[in-house]
A = this chain, B = another copy of it.
Amino acid sequence: MKETWVYSFAEGDGKNKKLLGGKGANLCELTQTGIRVPPGFVITTKACLAFLNNPERKIPQGMMEQVSKHLKKIEGLTNKSFGGEKKPLLLSVRSGSAMSMPGMMDTILNLGLNPDTLKGLIADTGNERFCYDAYRRFIQLFGKVALGIPDELFDEEFEKIKSKAHAHLDVDLSRDDLAEICTVFLQVVERYTGKPFPHDPFEQLEIAIKAVFSSWMGKRAVDYRREFKITSEMANGTAVNIVAMVFGNMSNNSATGVGFTRDPGTGENVIFGEYLVNAQGEDVVAGIRTPKPLAAMADEMPGLFKELMELRNNLESHFKEVQDFEFTIEEGILYCLQTRNGKMNATAMVRTSVEMKKEGLIDTKQALLRIKPEMLEQLLFPRLDPDADATPVAKGLPASPGGASGIAVFDADRAEKLGHEGVKVILVREETKPEDIHGFFAAQGILTSRGGKTSHAAVVARGMGKPCVAGAEGITVDVRLRQAVIGDTLISEGDTITIDGSTGGVYLGELPLIEAEFTPELEKLLSWADEKARLKVMANADTPGDAKRALKFGAMGIGLCRTERMFNEPSRLPIVIEMIIADTKEDRQKALDKLLPIQREDFKNIFIEMAPRPVTIRLLDPPIHEFLPQEQQLIEELELLRNLRKNLRGMRKLSEAVTFMYQNEPEKPIVQLSADPELLDAVILKKDMILSKVRSLHEINPMLGHRGVRLGLTFPEIYAMQIRAILEAAAECKKSGVTVHPEIMIPQVCTAQELKRVKEWVIQIHAEVEDRFGLSIQCAFGSMLEVVRACMRAENLAEEAEFFSFGTNDLTQATFSFSREDAENKFLPMYNMSHILQDNPFEVLDVKGVGKLMELAVRWGRQTRPDIKVGICGEHGGHPASIEFCHKIGLTYVSCSGPRVPIARLAAAHAAINQP
C-alpha cells in the first residue's frame, strides 16, 4: 500500500494530532466545520520522522509527488498558479507538532516569489509597494529559516536603506526603497551561501519543507521539550502545513490579528486580542508595531467585526475550549489562519471553567480536567500590595498578572545563570524572542519595552504564570551597556525593580507583596473537585493561625500538627532548655509541669479552630539539641561573660560596671547582668551547663539520631506530658460543647514495640483524664511511616496503629541515603542536570523507589487492618503527580501546607476522574 504523506485540509482527520500536528489537525477540523480557512494541505509527522531517520536526510519516496498533486488542488480552489507569471499562488509553510510549542518552530511566508512571479503578483494586485514588501520579507525569512543566514546580515542592510531614505517606520519606506532592499537581500543570500537565491518555487518549497522537518531537532525545540517534559509519546516529529497565502497587508481594507475567544488574563467572556490594519501576521506577534485592541474593530470595520464575533462563537461551540486564533482580512474577506486552545493564567482558567460549565459548553469533569492543578499555584502567588502606595517609574501593558521583584538583568543567559544561583531576577528586554526562553524559566518576571499583550513575551509569561509587563515604551533598553533608561532614571544590571503584571506598573526597589484571595469561581471549582475526589485533603498546621488559614484553603482537617514549633516560641524556649539540661527526672518533670498548661492551651485553640474536623498531632520529633543554642555561639558568649566578670571583680558600683561595659562592648551591652556579680556568676554557670549539654548531645548524623519515638522512650515524661496536654485539651473542649477529634501520631517509629510502649501510656492517661473529667474522649492512635523499616513491618505496626501517615521527606532521605540539605547543596543539581535522576525526589515523589515501598507498606498494613486510614504528610502531599500516585495506591488522605490545599483538592479530583 502506498503511504499517504499528505492530506488536504478537507480530508485530514481533525482528531489525529499525532499524525497531522495540532495546527494541521485544527486546520482540517476548521475547514471541515465550514469555517473559512485559506486552502492548503498538511504533510504528516510520519514524513518528518522518515526524513529525520534517513541517514542522508532524504524526503521520503513519493512525498513530493503527493505535494504536487495537492498543490494542483489549491491552484484549482484559488484560481492561482504556483510559480505562475500570472496570478501566482504564494504559500505559507509552517510547522506544527502534536503538542503546542509556541514560537519554537520556524515558519516561512510568501513562498513562491521570484522575479517572475513578482511581476505576476504586481499585475494581479496592482500594488507594487506591497509586492516588493512581500518579496523582501520572503527573502529574509527564507534566508534565515531555510538557509540559516543570520538575521543581522539582513537587518544591517535594511537599516542602511531605511536611514538613507530617512524612514522612521517600515511603512515610511517607498516602493523603490523596498525594491532596493530586495536586490540587496538577494545579494546577501548569494554572498552568504555562495549560491544564488533559489528562484524555482518548487525548489523553494522542497528546501522549506526540509527546513521545517529539521527544526524538530533544533536546539530550541529540543530544549523546550526537555523543559516541559514532552516525551516522544506525546509528540514525535512536526507536520508541515502548506497554505495558500492571504495578505493582511495588501491594502487598508486588509488587516491581520490574533484573538482569544475570552480574556486570557481574567477569563471574562469577551473577545480579546489585537489587530493591525495593512500588516502581516508576524508584525502583530513580534510586537514591532503596537497594535489596536480588537474592540476597536467594531468602529473601524463594523461588518468584519460582526463576522469576527461569529467566528469566535463558532470556534468555541466547536472546540468547547477557549481558542487562541489568528486571522487575516484580505481585501475585506476574513480568513481564520489557525486556532488552538488558548493558554491562560490560572484566574482565567478557573473563571472560564466555571462559566463554560454554567453555559453548558462543558461538564463538571471537563471543567476540572482542563485545569492543571499546579496552575492554581499562580493564584496563591503573591501580588503587589495595593496599599504600598508606590509610584511607578514607567507603565507598560499588563501582560501577565501578578507582582514580582528582582534585580534587573538584560539578557537571557545571565538571567539563567543568576537564576540558577538562586538570585531573583527580572528579565528586561526590548522585546523577547523564542531564543530567550531559558531566561524566562529562571526569571521572577519579564519586562519588555516593546510589543503588546500578544507579543512573545506576554504569551510565554502567561503560559508560565509569571508576571509580565510588556510594551513599556517609556523605557529605553541598552543591552550592550546592561542598563535601561527611564527619563532621568537609570536602571543598571543588579538594581532591584518590581513589576506589576496586573496593572503594567514598573517600580524601583522591592515592593511588599500580599497573598491572593480566593475568587468565588475558585471556590465553586474546588467544591466540584471535592465532590469528585476520593482522597481527603488535610493541611499541615502547627498553630491556631495556621489552622485558620488552612480552613480558608478548604482543608478537611489537620493531617500534621508539629508540636516542636510550639516548643520553639521565644517565651517557651527557656522552659524547654530547662527541661533538656535537667539532670534528674524530677528536675525534668518540673520543667514539663510548666509546659503542660501551655501545650494544652495550644491544642485547645487548634481544636476549637478546626472543630469538628480531625486534628493529627505528632509528638515531639526533632533531636532535642535543636532547641539549644549553637556550640560556637555559647563559647563566644561565655568568653564575653567571663571577661566581663573578671573585670567586674573589685568594682562595686553599678555605674562603674556599666561604664566599663559600654567602653568595652559598645555594641553588646548586657545591662542587667553587669550590675550584679552574683547574677553574672549564675548566668555563667547556667551557660556552662548548656554548653556541656550541647556537647554531650552532639550527633554525627542528627537526621538518623536520637529523635522522635527514640527520644520519647528515653524520656517518657516528655511524651506523657504531651499526651496529657492533648487529652486534657480535648476534654476541656468537649466539656464546653466543642466536638473534637484528636489523633496522636508517633514519629520515627521502626518497630511495633515502640508503638506498643507509647500506646500503653496513652491508654493509661486517657483513662485517667476521662475519669477526672467524667466524660469520654475519642482519640485515635497512629504512626508515622517515615523509617524504611516501619514500611517493611507495616503489617505488625498495623496491630497497634489505627492510622498511618507517610512522612515522605524523611522516607525519601532514608530510601536514597541522601541527606536533603547536603544533597541539594552538593550533588543533586548535577544529578538532575545530567539526568541521572529526572527530578529532585524531595519535590517530586520518587514513585519507582519510595513509591514502591509505600505501595508495599499500604498492602502489608491492610493485611492486618483492612480499613486502616493511611495518609501522607511530607511535602509531596501537595504535589499533583504525587497525589495522583497516592490515589493510585489507595491512600485515604494527603496533608500539605495550607496554600497547597487547593492544588491538592484539584489534583485529588483529577486522580479520581482519571483512575475511577
Given known A-B contacts A706-B827, A835-B753, A836-B713, A846 and B789 have beta carbons under 8 A apart: yes
Q: State in angstroms the CA–CA spacing of A748 and B836 once bound together.
A: 14
Q: State in angstroms the CA–CA spacing of A792 and B811 once bound together.
A: 13
B residues in contact with A816, CB < 8 Å: 750, 787-789
B residues in contact with A710, CB < 8 Å: 826-827, 831
Which of B701, B754, B786, B831 interacts with A704 by CB under 8 Å? B701
Which of B748, B821, B823 interacts with A817 by CB under 8 Å? B748
Q: Is the CB of B750 within 8 A of A817?
A: yes
Q: Distance in Å from the Cβ of A796 to the closest Cβ of chain B?
A: 8
> Chain A residues in contact with chain B, CB under 8 A?
699-706, 710-711, 713-714, 748, 750-751, 753-754, 757, 786-789, 792-793, 810, 813-819, 821-823, 826-827, 830-831, 834-837, 846, 848-850, 852-853
Q: Is the CB of A714 within 8 A of B837?
A: no
Q: Is the CB of B848 within 8 A of A792?
A: yes
Smallest Cβ-Cβ distance to A796: which chain B residue: B848
Q: Is the CB of B704 within 8 A of A819?
A: yes
Q: Is the CB of B751 within 8 A of A822?
A: no
Q: Distance in Å from the Cβ of A820 to the closest Cβ of chain B?
A: 9
Q: Is the CB of A814 within 8 A of B788?
A: yes
A-B contacts, 13 of them at CB < 8 A, read A700-B703, A701-B701, A702-B819, A706-B826, A748-B817, A750-B818, A757-B834, A787-B815, A788-B817, A788-B849, A793-B849, A810-B817, A814-B815
Q: Is the CB of A714 within 8 A of B836?
A: no
B residues in contact with A849, CB < 8 Å: 750-751, 788-789, 792-793
Most B-side CB within 10 Å, residue of A704, A821, A852? A704
B residues in contact with A699, CB < 8 Å: 819, 822, 826
Smallest Cβ-Cβ distance to A700: which chain B residue: B821
B residues in contact with A827, CB < 8 Å: 706, 710-711, 713-714
Q: Distance in Å from the Cβ of A842 to the closest Cβ of chain B?
A: 12
Q: Is the CB of A753 within 8 A of B788?
A: no
Which of B704, B714, B793, B836 interacts with A757 by CB under 8 Å? B836
Q: Is the CB of B705 within 8 A of A836?
A: no
Q: Is the CB of B788 within 8 A of A853?
A: yes
Q: Is the CB of B700 within 8 A of A702?
A: yes
Q: Is the CB of B750 within 8 A of A830?
A: no
Q: State in angstroms the CA–CA spacing of A155 and B786 once bound together.
A: 60
Q: State in angstroms the CA–CA spacing of A750 and B849 once bound together.
A: 9
Q: Is the CB of A705 within 8 A of B850?
A: no
B residues in contact with A830, CB < 8 Å: 713-714
B residues in contact with A822, CB < 8 Å: 699-702, 704-706
Q: Is the CB of B815 within 8 A of A788?
A: yes
Q: Distance in Å from the Cβ of A852 to the closest Cβ of chain B?
A: 5
B residues in contact with A817, CB < 8 Å: 703-704, 748, 750, 786-789, 810, 814
Copy count, this protein chain: 2
B residues in contact with A818, CB < 8 Å: 704, 750
Q: State in angstroms the CA–CA spacing of A517 and B88 once bound together.
A: 102
Q: Distance in Å from the Cβ of A623 to the closest Cβ of chain B?
A: 9
B residues in contact with A815, CB < 8 Å: 787-789, 792, 814
Q: State in angstroms the CA–CA spacing of A834 and B712 once bound together.
A: 14
Most B-side CB within 10 Å, residue of A701, A787, A818, A848? A701
Q: State in angstroms the CA–CA spacing of A754 and B788 once bound together.
A: 22
Q: State in angstroms the CA–CA spacing of A852 and B750 once bound together.
A: 14
Smallest Cβ-Cβ distance to A701: which chain B residue: B819
Q: Is the CB of B789 within 8 A of A850?
A: yes
B residues in contact with A711, CB < 8 Å: 827
Given known A-B contacts A789-B815, A846-B789, A703 and B706 have beta carbons under 8 A apart: no
Q: Is the CB of B701 within 8 A of A792?
A: no
Other A-B pairs beyond A700-B819, A788-B849, 5, CB < 8 Å:
A703-B704, A750-B818, A789-B850, A792-B849, A810-B817
B residues in contact with A792, CB < 8 Å: 815, 848-850, 852-853
Q: Is the CB of A705 within 8 A of B826?
A: yes
Which of B713, B819, B837 interacts with A751 by CB under 8 Å? B837
Q: State in angstroms the CA–CA spacing of A190 and B793 once bound together.
A: 58
Q: Distance in Å from the Cβ of A797 to the closest Cβ of chain B?
A: 11
B residues in contact with A789, CB < 8 Å: 815-817, 846, 849-850
Q: State in angstroms the CA–CA spacing of A831 and B850 once bound together.
A: 27
Given known A-B contacts A827-B713, A849-B792, A836 and B702 have beta carbons under 8 A apart: no
Q: Distance in Å from the Cβ of A835 to the closest Cβ of chain B?
A: 7
B residues in contact with A819, CB < 8 Å: 699-705
Q: Distance in Å from the Cβ of A911 to the closest Cβ of chain B?
A: 23
Q: State in angstroms the CA–CA spacing of A813 and B701 once bound together.
A: 11
B residues in contact with A853, CB < 8 Å: 788, 792
Which of B702, B753, B831, B846 interacts with A837 by CB under 8 Å? B753
Q: Distance in Å from the Cβ of A546 to the closest Cβ of chain B?
A: 26
Q: Distance in Å from the Cβ of A691 to the closest Cβ of chain B?
A: 15
Most B-side CB within 10 Å, residue of A714, A750, A753, A793? A750
Q: State in angstroms the CA–CA spacing of A706 and B822 once bound together.
A: 7
Q: State in angstroms the CA–CA spacing of A82 and B822 once bound together.
A: 81
Q: State in angstroms the CA–CA spacing of A850 and B699 once bound together.
A: 24
Smallest Cβ-Cβ distance to A838: which chain B residue: B753
Q: State in angstroms the CA–CA spacing of A823 and B848 once bound together.
A: 30
Q: State in angstroms the CA–CA spacing of A810 and B177 once bound together.
A: 76
Q: Distance in Å from the Cβ of A859 to the closest Cβ of chain B?
A: 13
Q: State in angstroms the CA–CA spacing of A810 and B815 once bound together.
A: 11
Q: State in angstroms the CA–CA spacing of A751 and B704 once bound together.
A: 22
Q: State in angstroms the CA–CA spacing of A432 and B711 once bound together.
A: 39
A-B residue pairs, 4 tightest by C-beta: A701-B819, A704-B819, A789-B849, A706-B826
B residues in contact with A787, CB < 8 Å: 815-817
Q: Is the CB of B750 within 8 A of A704?
A: no
